[in-house]
Amino acid sequence: MTNGHEVVRLPREPEPVTAEPVTPPGRLHGLAIAGMAVSALIGIAAMLAFITINWPGDSNRYLVFAFVAAGLGFLTCASAAVLTAARDTYAKHRPTE
């Protein structure tokens, strides 16, 4: 006893758990990110062309369609990138021998 207080011994630290090495993201994740980049570039180009150029007749509808399609493509690729990244974070179950 020290100064009238009881000393409580703490248990030893457990042995550190060795983690498995981190694996790089899968191929589908890279394709989804590349799809996001391509969709963003197409959407930006379509919007700039729509704003800056005076298109004859109804031909500007094609640019609006390209912009909307690029937005939908971007959202689809972003969802795929998030889901594939989440899938890659789960541990791989190996059969026990």
pLDDT at 15: 77
Q: 72: pLDDT confidence band, cut at 50, 70 and 90? A: very high
pLDDT at 30: 94
φ, ψ for residue 54 (rounded to 5)? -85, 100
- pLDDT average, residue stretch 83-90: 85
pLDDT at 93: 63
* Cα–Cα separations (whole angstroms), residue 42 to 67, 71, 79: 7, 9, 18
Give the residue extent of every domain in the chain.
27-89
0.75 exceeded by the pTM? Answer: no
**Percent residues over pLDDT 70 in the chain:** 87
